[in-house]
Amino acid sequence: MHRVNNATLSIEAVFGDRGLLASRLDRYEFRPGQLEYARAIQKAIDREHFLIAEAGTGTGKTLGYLVPAILSGKKAVVSTGTKNLQEQIFFKDIPFLQELLPISFSATLMKGRSNYLCLRKYKLFQQQPLFDFIEDAQLFNKIETWALHTATGDRAEIAGLPETYQPWERIAASAETCSAQQCPLYRDCFVTRMRMRAAKADIVLINHHLFMTDMIIRTAGYNEIIPPYDIIIFDEAHQLESVATQHLGIMVSHRRIEELVRDIQREMAAAHADGLKDTTQVLSVLLSLSQQFFAAFYRPPESYRIKADHVSEKLWDNYHALAEGLSSLCSRIDGMQKKTDELEQCRYRALTIAQELSTILNLDSATHVSWCELRGSGVALHSSPIEVGSELAELLYPHIRTIVFTSATLSTNGTFAYFKRRLGLDHIAPPDEIIIPSHFDFASQAILYLPDDMPNPDSAQFVARAAERIEQVIALTRGRAFILFTSYRNMHEAYAILKDRLPYPVLLQGSKPRHEMLEEFKENISSVLFATSSFWEGVDVMGEALSCVIIDKLPFASPSDPLQEARIEHSAARGENPFLSYQVPQAIITLRQGFGRLIRSRSDRGILCLLDPRINTRHYGTLFLKSMPPCQVTSSITAVKEFLGHGAPV
């Protein structure tokens, strides 16, 4: 790493009212909160402390943590919750700082393996290309053209390649199929090259999924993905529990076994392995056993806990037959005379699947919950940790000296108690803490409208009445609204009522790819978008295109969700009130994220409308109100009209 001496460059020299930012940017407005935030980051880095730092929207937190990390001279990893933010930092903020700061530093981007082309799998696929649809074959021509000249192997470079393009899975890098240094293409491997760039960089940008994958690999004693570093900064840290839950758990599906069978057939054919015909029969039987086993779990609802009374004697028989089939396959590969490294990798995958199925069907675990998820016409079986905090306290915190957790939404009711409890930060020495209020003037920029005549959300009339109120509010804002729902059912019902009554372009989540809908929403400033949870965060629409966010209900997660149900039971078993200690804080964080879609700059003005009367009628409603930004609150539509009539047009 090459650095110019940065000891004389202070945080104040960058963020102060006469600092580098002030001298370089036109119409720069000094933000005391940003300076205070950056000082707190610098202090944590200097003292090698953990820090929880909430910085409200508009603080400028990205530059606020990047600058102290750069000035420290230490190697820093920045992990984000979304690829959008990761790429924004790399393509916008990093180049800006490289031009602004009088010091030299380098940065690189690391993504999860599945974003990169695997050269070995790609060459094998080219020899026997199989497509389900003719459109897939046509799109593959784009990949072949791109593969000839790409320097990174990152699929994001391929314009027009849909996120859902199925053949990509057959040619993408994956931990399960990687033979690492045994691979003949190891030196040319795009993942290897990515690691080499990261080893040389001062700042490495990753996402939470890659971080958790790396943490688990390190724990298992394998070579790490992310090179050694001194500092880890988790931006969008409110997403960490969800991502950690996914990666600390396991998942097995029939599709995973199908992929294993396909890879074995290809490897045997390519290696001219002995016993191909007999092994093909074994694989055919294995697929049949797998179909029978997983089919028994296919029933509503879309996700449910696997309990002892769900597992019949016949299902146990099917499981044992499948386990025996996997064992037989392992023995057959073991006995092959022409066994390649790739076939040995397949043997290990079969063994892993058998072990993971055994874990999932261990229904007496006190620390994990087993559950089933319907995926199209198939199912996936999961085992997930009920609490990730204790695992992070063991696998992560003892091994890193400086960790910064930051987001615009980490606190509930003015404290980090919930966040610390969920991530196991209450198991270690207390982290430093700071809350920086938003730079925005919410009192003049926003109004929270809480109609006092709405029925309870469980009422049969709720959606119809909600549609009436949505129509009324949207008429005042002339469209330009996000309508966020806590369920697909309510979204579709409200959309059916309003789609022909609203005199504005109406967009429905799921009708087209997410990025296309957002672009259309931004381009047509009178649009109305009906959406669910995936639009609650990570969406940045500044200016007049978004003037109103309407939320149908307080965003409580469904108590019948398998993980939610297990966590509620776990909380109660500890003697807590799970509603107040877990469900309410979780919903507060989600509601704050929804509010955060509305005001994205000091010139934005808008309305947040919550149609759930419980915020006023239930005792816990005050906890939600105390956690919201300090804006005007009203139950009067007249007050909303007056708000829209003052100042610049909304």
What would the pLDDT profile of 499-541 be if each residue is shown by its tens digit?
999 999 999 998 877 778 888 888 888 999 999 877 776 666 6
3-state SS class at 431:
coil
CA distance 38 to 67: 8
- Summary mean pLDDT of the chain: 90
Q: Are strands 76-80 and 203-207 parallel, antiparallel or unpaired?
A: parallel
CATH, residue 286:
1.10.275
Higher pLDDT, 221 or 435: 435
Cα separation, 276 vs 266, whole angstroms: 10
pLDDT tens digits, one per residue of 588-603: 999 998 888 787 778 8
- Same domain? For 481 and 626 the reply is yes
For the cut 50, the answer to whether the pLDDT of residue 649 exceeds it is no
Mean pLDDT value across residues 110-129: 90
- Check residues 277 and 61 and name the one with the higher pLDDT: 61
Residue 544 lies in a domain: yes
Model pTM? 0.90
Residue 484, domain member (yes or no): yes
Residue entry with tokens 């978008």: 529
- Please tell me the predicted confidence (pLDDT) of residue 650: 44
Q: Do the beta carbons of residue 94 and residue 226 sit within 8 Å?
A: no
* Stretch 464-487: mean pLDDT: 93
264 and 345 in a single domain? The answer is: yes
pLDDT-based confidence at residue 3 (cuts at 50, 70, 90): very low
Structure confidence at residue 156 as a pLDDT band (50, 70, 90): confident
Please count the structural domains in the chain: 2
Query: Are 371 and 446 found together in one domain?
Result: no
pLDDT of residue 602: 81
| pLDDT above 70 for 206 | yes
* Parallel/antiparallel/unpaired status of strands 548-551 and 203-207: unpaired
- Please check whether residues 380 and 452 belong to one and the same domain: no
**Do 129 and 137 contact (CB within 8 A), yes or no?**
yes
Average pLDDT over residues 410-429: 94
> Of 337, 356, 385, which one is at a domain's C-terminal end?
385
Give me the half-sphere count of Cα atoms (radius 13 Å) on the Cβ side of residue 352. Answer: 16
Residue 358 has pLDDT above 60, yes or no: yes
Single out the residue of 539, 543, 529 nearest to residue 479, CA to CA: 529
Q: 647 pLDDT band (50/70/90 cuts)?
A: very low
Torsion of CA 214, 218, 221, 222, to 10 degrees: 30
pLDDT tier at 457, thresholds 50, 70, 90: very high
Q: Decide if 548 is inside a domain.
A: yes
Asked if 489 and 584 sit in the same domain, the reply is: yes
Q: Are both 527 and 600 inside the same structural domain?
A: yes
Residue 531 is part of a domain; what is its CATH number?
3.40.50.300
Residue % of the chain over a pLDDT of 90: 66
Query: Is residue 68 in some structural domain?
Result: no
408 in a domain, yes or no? no
CA pseudo-torsion sign 192, 196, 197, 202: positive
The answer to whether residue 636 sits within a structural domain is yes
480, 601: one domain: yes
Same domain as 468, residue 343? no
Bridge-based pairing of strands 446-449 and 632-634 is parallel
User: Are 367 and 449 in the same domain?
Assistant: no
Verify that 318 and 451 share a domain, yes or no. Answer: no
Name the residue range of residue 591's domain.
Answer: 442-645
For residues 261-276, average pLDDT:
80
Tell me if 109 is assigned to some domain: no
Residue 195 pLDDT: 92
Q: Does residue 498 fall inside a structural domain?
A: yes
- Whether residue 152 is predicted with pLDDT greater than 60 in this model: the reply is yes
